[in-house]
Amino acid sequence: MTKKKILGIDLFSGAGGMSLGAEWAGVSVKYAVEKNIYASETYQANHPKTTVITSDIRNFSVIPANLGTGVTILFGGAPCQGFSTSNRRTNNRKNPDNWLYKEFIRVLRLWQPDWVVFENVTGITEMESGVFLKEIINDFESVGYTCSCKVLNASDFGVPQKRCRLFLIGSKIGKVVDLNLYNPTQKVTVKDALFDLPTLDNGACIDVLPYAREADNDYSKILRGSLSQSSGHLVSKNSEYVLQRYKHIKQGENWTSIPGKLMKNYKDSSRCHTGIYHRLRDDDVSVVIGNYRKNMLIHPWTNRGLSVREAARLQSFPDSYTFRGSIGFQQQQVGNAVPPLLAKHVFNRIIEQL
């Protein structure tokens, strides 16, 4: 690995998943900008050496002068709800959130770092038949960056989740980065990720608990480290009629397995999204975590939703990583995050160029 010091700033940092991956790769993240107070608190609790600026990105106009000397990287991803293919009403250029990436470009012009990493959902590649993505790339190139762009699946990099994200890497010195290299590891399954965690019930509310059993695979051993207990064992409390629905769904199945008589509160249950009421398969990677409470994502072995820690495991957060705020805010932070292990491999591609 290079001996050069690598300094980073994280925009739209959220709970810090991308920063964690950057740090694992050897980046010293000096500043992070995040306007959500609970996500900001989570970030600060887990990244004590980073200065967190709790502010709207539009108020961030001065690059700190005390970063130090070294290779510089600006990274992050603008809020992605407007780019999501599942949100057709806002999947167009009329949605103001779709222009927040311009704030990223603005800071890029201010700082002019050596490298830039921009991350977002894959829907951005499909929006307006790809024209919108071309405009984004043109914006990066107009600032002077040579761009490499690729959609990566987290499950190809040791994350137990089928989660595809777009990564755009920009180089100020004309480097083209090969993002086609996959991590040559066997797929990590849901069982690998969850097997040693405590047995929980619907509505579980005891935050810190000891492990249920010894870790039996490399993935859980690495995320667990030397801990004997972990936090985040919080589960949303579902109504009894929801629990009755869970009982009819086998691993890998969704709402279509629920008897019609139990779905009468839906005006037209046939129009439900395929991701609703999905029970995870324990012998495969997870589906996208996302808003797992709203989607009623079901635990593979128990008739309940996922705990915050279980979702964090499926995102590749270590068990030492703690989340702040009420359960709803914690769930949102985990679901919105970039899987740290995926981010690590992206930053490794850059470090290999140095």
pLDDT tens figures, 224-257: 999 999 999 999 999 999 999 999 999 999 999 9
Q: What is the CATH number of the domain that holds 163?
A: 3.40.50.150
Answer whether residue 26 is part of any domain: yes
For residue 184, what pLDDT is reported?
60
Q: Provide the annotated active-site residues.
A: 80
Mean local confidence (pLDDT), 135-151: 95
Query: In this predicted structure, which of 84-98, 172-186, 207-221 has the lowest mean pLDDT?
Result: 84-98
Mean local confidence (pLDDT), 1-11: 83
Answer whether residue 53 is part of any domain: yes
Answer whether residue 76 is part of any domain: yes
How far apart are alpha carbons 155 and 190 in whole angstroms?
11
pLDDT tens figures, 265-297: 776 666 667 778 999 999 999 999 999 999 999
List all residues 6 or more positions away from 87 whose beta carbon is below 8 Å from its beta carbon.
81
In the chain, the number of structural domains is 1
How far apart are alpha carbons 56 and 270 in whole angstroms?
40
Range of the domain at 117: 6-185+338-351
Answer whether residue 322 is part of any domain: no
pTM to 2 decimal places: 0.92
Answer whether residue 274 is part of any domain: no
- Partners of 28 in the beta sheet? 7
Answer whether residue 35 is part of any domain: yes
User: How does strand 146-153 pair with strand 164-171?
Assistant: antiparallel
For residue 109, what pLDDT is reported?
94
Answer whether residue 94 is part of any domain: yes
Q: How confident is the model at residue 1 (pLDDT cuts 50, 70, 90)?
A: very low
User: How does strand 51-53 pair with strand 28-33?
Assistant: parallel
Answer whether residue 148 is part of any domain: yes
For residue 186, what pLDDT is reported?
82
Please check whether residue 340 is in contact with residue 315, taking contact to mean a CB–CB distance below 8 angstroms.
yes
For residue 182, what pLDDT is reported?
67
